[in-house]
A = this chain, B = another copy of it.
Amino acid sequence: MDMLFAKTVVLAASAVGAGTAMIAGIGPGVGQGYAAGKAVESVARQPEAKGDIISTMVLGQAVAESTGIYSLVIALILLYANPFVGLLG
């Protein structure tokens, strides 16, 4: 079989897989927005605690970011460090 065809199929599947993986971003988007809304509400009630509120929000959001980053990592690997091409050789 042709190596070029093999690469074509694997890379096309990688492109679709990378796109599918990014859908996970719906979750962190909704969750972080909820946290942001709660932070805004809280700052308005206790402006003196603004520092604590924002640092808590950012910390919480940073953890909630994780699955979005995982998806980004998988997509970037599929794009730039595609290990499948080496496995074909």
Which residues of A are interface residues toward B (Cβ below 8 A)?
Answer: 1-47, 49-50, 52-54, 56-80, 82-85, 87-88
Contacts and interface: CB of A to CB of B under 8 A. Distances in A.
A2 to B, nearest CB: 4
Integer count of this chain's copies in the complex: 14
Closest 4 CB pairs between A and B? A31-B33, A36-B60, A27-B29, A25-B67
Given A4-B6, A8-B1, A53 B40 contact: yes
Nearest to A84: B11
17 contacts: A13-B15, A14-B15, A17-B17, A21-B22, A22-B23, A22-B70, A22-B71, A23-B23, A25-B67, A25-B71, A28-B66, A29-B30, A29-B64, A34-B34, A60-B61, A70-B71, A74-B79
